[in-house]
Amino acid sequence: MSKEITSRLQDYAQWYNDLVIKGGLADYSAVRGCMVIKPYGFTLWENMRDQLDRMFKDTGHVNAYFPLFVPKSLFEAEEKNAEGFAKECAIVTHYRLKSDPDNKGKLIVDPEAKLEEELVVRPTSEAIIWSTYKTWIQSYRDLPLLINQWANVVRWEMRTRLFLRTTEFLWQEGHTAHATAQEAIEETTRMLDVYADFAENWMALPVIKGVKTASERFAGAIDTYCIEAMMQDGKALQAGTSHFLGQNFAKAFDVQFLNKENKQEYVWATSWGVSTRLIGALVMAHSDDDGLIIPPKIAPFQVVIVPIHKGEEQKAVIDAKVKTLVQELKLAGIRVKYDDNDNNRPGWKFAEYEKKGVPVRIAIGARDIENNTVEIARRDTKEKVSVGMDDLPLRIINLLQQIQQDMFDKAKAYRDEHITPANTWDEFVRLLNEKGGFISAHWDGTDETEEKIKEQTKATIRCIPLNGEAEEGKCILTGQPSKKRVLFAQAY
């Protein structure tokens, strides 16, 4: 048991905070609701970002960058979108400070420097991007337009949590324009598939693909598709969204193209995004009371090597051996760190790297040199084995793959155990209180019922699963007929 980390059982929220802070991912900052992403956390993000970026490019997208600021008049053009985000916008009203005449050394906002038109700090970029697309799109030959941007956005949330909900966060947002609704819908689901692929195969995070109900839909979208993940406390977390925007933004920004028949048509749009929130999902899905557990494919370090030696002579022998090993491992494409820092003893390092979630630890001491072995320890299972040094890279590659797979299987088993059908209201309430997780239940399809259920249980409809089968049933609350089960859960 770690000396520093609160156990999940004792205080789940504190456990999460401890992991983020003490695992070295991020720090609180001087700015309310904003965090500093530390190098270890940022390397993790870079690894995730780089892989997602490859996947976007493999599906035909290119990157661009649009401004941080959105003139208010553009922001309000798409009414629903503007309304949805209005109450969480930061707004720039002035462009200059000046010395405070009454308070030496202090600055005040210069009232002379008020902007003619306020600038909204983007909470999302549809407005600025679609105002630009208007000038880029004339003909069906300009379509599809498949653009992604990596950016920061600001949403002035009332309550923030490290990674899960910060005032400023990093994300990517894809914004595409298409000639037909069909194409746009295909794009929407294609990107949902990319997200699910990434979550499952890179983050070892099993997700459920689904579509949001009207009340949970992105402001300005026709349909919002999502991937939903399950955390260890039985609460759901939305890990990514892909929106079919119809012609809403094209109409708001008057983006038309000439089709093959020489007729003007509004273009069809999608947008899709994932954010640094994924890191929160990763932390909460996999880690334990000793610290983070990071899946090998995206771990900043996949392997850490710790030397154990008595005296400088032994150290020199170990150093020489490790130097070769590191070279071999790097050549095999493994991200490896050799920690020969003399300040800390091996035991301290073991605990430290467990806290940081490094998937594999290799310990090498005099005993190993003598026997031509190393000790390999897995972070996820804590298993330790002593193995021969020969073929180490291959062995490590296989082990990393195994860990990646085992982490996914474990998370999936947990997730699957926490999808429970409920057929009566009593059962529904009892499951939510006693077990948590996703509750699969019938719903009559109305906003009112959804809202009532939320008021009474705090559970919301996370999604209507895409793979759900048609089934006649009765709404859990109203008894009205329903044709398909939906997934309820309390969510982050």
Partner RNA sequence: CGGGAGGUAGUUCAGCCCGGUAGAAUACGUGGUUUGGGACCACGGGGUCGCAGGUUCGAAUCCUGUCCUCCCGACCA
Contact residue for RNA among 56, 133, 169, 225 (CB under 7 A): 169
Cβ 481 to RNA shortest distance, Å:
28
Task: Note whether 339 and 305 are within 8 A (CB).
Answer: yes
Cβ 283 to RNA shortest distance, Å:
13
Cβ 371 to RNA shortest distance, Å:
8
Nearer to RNA, 379 or 415 (CB): 379
- Stated as kind and residue range, the H or E segment containing 249 is helix 248-252
Determine, following the binding rule CB under 7 A, whether residue 162 of this chain makes contact with RNA.
Answer: yes
Query: Can you tell me whether residue 81 is helix, strand or coil?
Result: helix
Site map 361..400 versus RNA, x via CB under 7 A: --xxxxxx------x-x----x-x-x--------------
- Judged by CB under 7 A, the chain residues 261 through 300 that form the site for RNA are 275-277, 290
DSSP letter at 234 equals S
- Cβ neighbourhood burial of 312 (10 Å; 0-12, 13-18, 19+): exposed
Sole window of 343-351, 392-400, 413-421, 428-436 interacting with RNA (rule: CB under 7 A): 343-351
Residue type, 144: P
Contact residue for RNA among 348, 381, 416, 448 (CB under 7 A): 348
- Judged by CB under 7 A, the chain residues 429 through 488 that form the site for RNA are 458
Nearer to RNA, 161 or 474 (CB): 161
CA angle 306, 309, 315 (to 5 degrees): 90
Task: Note whether 188 and 243 are within 8 A (CB).
Answer: yes
Cβ 353 to RNA shortest distance, Å:
9
Task: Note whether 162 and 26 are within 8 A (CB).
Answer: yes
Contact residue for RNA among 72, 155, 175, 415 (CB under 7 A): 155
Nearer to RNA, 241 or 302 (CB): 241
> Would residue 313 be called left, alpha or beta, if left means φ above 0 and alpha means ψ between -120 and 50 degrees?
alpha
Looking at the DSSP bridge assignments, the partners of residue 336 are 303
Contact residue for RNA among 141, 345, 452, 483 (CB under 7 A): 345
Query: Can you tell me whether residue 360 is helix, strand or coil?
Result: strand
Site map 302..331 versus RNA, x via CB under 7 A: ------xxxx---x----------------
User: CA nearest 376: which of 273, 303, 279?
Assistant: 303
Contact residue for RNA among 28, 150, 414, 425 (CB under 7 A): 28
Determine, following the binding rule CB under 7 A, whether residue 344 of this chain makes contact with RNA.
Answer: yes
Residue type, 19: L
151 vs 348: CA distance, rounded Å: 38
Task: Note whether 213 and 74 are within 8 A (CB).
Answer: no
Cβ 236 to RNA shortest distance, Å:
10
Torsion angle of C-alpha atoms 317, 321, 324, 329, degrees rounded to 10: -140
Return the number of other C-beta atoms located less than 10 Å from residue 161's C-beta. 17
Binding residues with RNA: total (CB under 7 A): 63
Contact residue for RNA among 6, 125, 188, 238 (CB under 7 A): 238
Contact residue for RNA among 38, 134, 165, 474 (CB under 7 A): 165
Determine, following the binding rule CB under 7 A, whether residue 158 of this chain makes contact with RNA.
Answer: yes
Sole window of 59-67, 156-164, 179-187, 433-441 interacting with RNA (rule: CB under 7 A): 156-164
484 vs 411: CA distance, rounded Å: 26
- Cβ neighbourhood burial of 178 (10 Å; 0-12, 13-18, 19+): buried
Q: Can you give the binding site for RNA, defined by CB under 7 A?
A: 2-4, 13, 17, 28, 30-33, 87-88, 155, 157-162, 164-167, 169, 216, 218, 238, 241, 275-277, 290, 308-311, 315, 342-348, 350-352, 354-355, 363-368, 375, 377, 382, 384, 386, 458, 491-492
